[in-house]
Amino acid sequence: MTPDPHQQSGTPPVRCERLDAAVALVTIDRPARRNALNLQVKELVADAVEMLSADPAVRVIIVTGAGKYFVAGTDIAEMTDMTTTSHTLQATDRVFNVLRRCDKVLIAAVEGYALGGGCELALCCDLIVAGESARLGQPEIRVGVMPGAGGTQRLLRTIGRYQTMKLVLTGEPVSGREAFSMGMVSEAVADGQALARARALAQTIAAMPPLAVRAIREVMQQGQDVALETALALERRAFQMLFDTQDQKEGMQAFLEKRTPAFKGC
């Protein structure tokens, strides 16, 4: 892995920390390039998410950027001389594949720019919390290419054909507030509060029954690309299977007894 010449000596461009037993935080910290994704950062984020995915205690992973930015995009300086072959050999899409296949809940906390690869990184997550003045978009067309890590397809499935066409054909970004009105993000919050709100959501989700959380994510991920009748059948089957869990019995009994349930993930 080639060291980043723009990174301050001794400062890792990606940090991984545990906020509590069940919630982890992955922070991209490359201030000189507004947290732009180079190959090193992509590899480190992928490694961090894979490590956290393997930890049974972790239930939610927050992905964010240090300072005033999420991710300004993919590092154009590094991409200028890339070829079709180098993209394949260097697995430049690995980080997006790792996030898409992660079996933990992923929350993106977005401030400042989330453009190009940064927007696609956020779109890999289950929830996106954005500062109301954040800028989200896919400006790849302005440098002669197009989104290549899910931008066209995830946006198409999220905000529809006409909004997606406008974003990817003009390269114009939208604010966090606009993105929320389009259904592109989960919440728009006051600038500077995205991480705090993401942490609160993470703690709420981490307290939910793990098997139900996993079932919901799997049904939604599988159901979005199949016929409605098939998706409804997947949902019904997952619903019925949860009645064989101890958490279902604990949750309903706690509700009747007006107490806080103690979910164990079994």
Q: What span, in angstroms and rounded, lies between the C-alpha atoms of 37 and 63? A: 13
Q: Give me the residue spans of the domains in the chain.
A: 14-206, 210-257
Q: What is the pLDDT of residues 187-212, one digit of tens each?
A: 999 999 999 999 999 999 999 999 99
CATH level 3 topology of 14-206: 2-enoyl-CoA Hydratase; Chain A, domain 1 (3.90.226)
| CATH class, 210-257 region | mainly alpha
pLDDT score at 4: 63
Which helix (H) or strand (E) covers residue 235, if one does?
helix 228-241
Give the per-residue pLDDT at 3: 59
pLDDT tens digits for 88-123?
Answer: 666 678 999 999 999 999 999 999 999 999 999 999
Are the beta carbons of 60 and 205 closer than 8 angstroms? yes
pLDDT at 84: 74
Distance between CA atoms of residues 181 and 136, nearest Å: 13
Q: Is the pLDDT of residue 152 over 60?
A: yes
Q: Which pLDDT does position 82 carry in this prediction?
A: 67
The set of residues, in sequence order, having a beta carbon less than 8 Å from that of 127 and lying 6+ positions away, is 105, 106, 107, 108, 186, 187, 198, 201
pLDDT digits (tens, 9 = 90+) for 175-191: 999 999 999 999 999 99
Confidence of residue 8 (pLDDT cuts 50, 70, 90): low
The whole-angstrom separation of Cα 89 and Cα 44 is 17
